[in-house]
Amino acid sequence: MKTNIFALPQLSLRFIPVWRRNYMVWKKMAIPSVLGHLADPVIYMLGLGYGLGGMLPQIGGMSYITFLSAGTVCYSTMNSASFEALYSAFARMQEQRTWDAILNTPTTLDDIVLSEIFWAASKSLLSGVAVLMVIWLLGLSHSPLLLWIIPLSLLVGLCFSAMGLIVTALAPGYEFFMYYFTLVITPMTLLCGVFFPVDQLPASLRLVSAILPLTHAVSLARPLLNGLIPAAILTDIAVLAVYALICYYICLVLFRKRMAQ
C-alpha cells in the first residue's frame, strides 16, 4: 500500500515543461544573470591572476593566470549549480510552492527533481561558457581542446546540483545553506587545486582532496586549457558521474520523504 520512497527514479519526459518554466523565468532577467555569472570569476581571475601571478613563476609550463583560469571555470560552474540548487530550488519548493502547484498535474515529484538537476546544470553550462569566452578574449588559451570545457561544465553542473539538492531536501530554511557553503563549498574551493596545485598540500589533505569531486573537474579542465589530453580522463569523468548519480538518488529519496509530509 505504501509507496516506496526508495524506488528507482521514474524517468519521463514530463520534466521538460518544468525545465522550460525555469528557463522562462530566467529569460526575463537574462542580462543581469549573465553579468552576475561573469563578475565574480572575472574579478578573481584578473585580480589574483595578474596581481598574485606577477610574483609567481610559471606553474607546469603555464602562466599563473592561465593556471587559475582552469580552476576558475570549475569553481564558477560549481557555484552556479550550487546557488541554483539551494536557494532558487528552495524558493520554488517552499516559498512560492511552485512544486505543489506542479504536483497537482500529471507531472510527478520525480519529474520535478530531474528538472531541477538539469536546470541547475544548465546554469553551470552557461557559467562555464561565459568564463570560456573571457579566457578566449584574454588570449589565455587557443587550443581547440578548450571546447571540451563545455560538456565538462555540464557534468560538473549535474554533480553539484545533485549534491546541493540533498541539502535543499533537508533544509528547514535558508540559514541552513550557510553550513553547506562553509563546510563543503569553501573547503572544496581551497583543497581542489583551483588556486594552487594539489601537490602543495600535506599528504593527509591530499587524500581528502582526491575524493572531492572538484579536484577531478580541475584535473580535467587544466590540461584541456593547455592543449593536452587529461592523464586520468576516465577516472576523473567516472568520479564526477558517480557523485552525480548517487547524489541524485539520495536527494530524490529525501524529497519523496519530505513531500509526503
Partner 1 sequence: MNNVISARNLVKVYAGERVVDGISLNIVRGECFGLLGPNGAGKTTTLRLLLGLIAPDGGAIELLGYPIPGQARTARLRVGVVPQIDNLDPDFTVAENLLVYGRYFGMKDSDIEARLPELLEFANLTHKRDVKVPALSGGMKRRLTLARALVNDPDVIFLDEPTTGLDPQARHLIWQRLRELTARGKTLILTTHFMDEAERLCHRLAVMDNGRIISQGSPADLIANNIEPQVVEVFGEQAGCWAKNHAALHTERIEVSGESVFCYLNEAQPLLLELKAHPELRYLHRPANLEDVFLKLTGREMRE
Piece of the chain touching partner 1 by CB under 8 A; list 42-50, 92-100, 198-206, 219-227:
92-100
> Does 102 participate in binding partner 1 (rule CB under 8 A)?
yes
> Does 3 participate in binding partner 1 (rule CB under 8 A)?
yes
Nearer to partner 1, 12 or 58 (CB): 12
Cell numbers for 217? 573537474
Choice from 39, 43, 101, 147 touching partner 1 (CB under 8 A): 101
> Does 2 participate in binding partner 1 (rule CB under 8 A)?
yes
Output the smallest distance, CB 176 to partner 1, in A.
Answer: 22
Q: Show the CA angle centred on residue 187, arms to residues 184 and 193, nearest 5°.
A: 125
One-letter amino acid for residue 147 of the chain: L
Choice from 7, 11, 20, 35 touching partner 1 (CB under 8 A): 20
Nearer to partner 1, 3 or 204 (CB): 3
Measured torsion, CA atoms of residues 107, 109, 113, 114, in degrees rounded to the nearest 10:
-50
DSSP H stretches of helix in the chain = 15-28, 30-46, 64-83, 89-90, 98-103, 109-137, 149-170, 177-180, 186-191, 203-211, 213-225, 233-259
Choice from 72, 77, 80, 98 touching partner 1 (CB under 8 A): 98
Provide the angle, in degrees to the nearest 10, between the axes of the packed helices 109-137 and 233-259.
140
What is d(CA 203, CA 175) in angstroms, rounded to the nearest whole number?
34
Piece of the chain touching partner 1 by CB under 8 A; list 21-29, 198-206, 221-229, 242-250:
21-29
Binding mask 107-126 for partner 1 (x = CB under 8 A): xx------------------
Piece of the chain touching partner 1 by CB under 8 A; list 90-98, 117-125, 142-150, 164-172:
90-98
What is d(CA 129, CA 38) in angstroms, rounded to the nearest whole number?
10
Look at residue 97 and give its three-state secondary structure. Answer: coil
How many binding residues for partner 1 (CB under 8 A)? 25
Nearer to partner 1, 25 or 39 (CB): 25
What is d(CA 69, CA 131) in angstroms, rounded to the nearest whole number?
8
> Does 96 participate in binding partner 1 (rule CB under 8 A)?
yes
Choice from 39, 47, 105, 183 touching partner 1 (CB under 8 A): 105
Q: How far, CA to CA in Å, does 230 sit from each of 1, 156, 209, 227?
A: 50, 16, 18, 9
Choice from 7, 11, 17, 257 touching partner 1 (CB under 8 A): 17
The residues of the shown chain that bind partner 1, judged by CB under 8 A, are 1-3, 14, 17-18, 20-21, 24-25, 28, 96-98, 100-108, 260-261
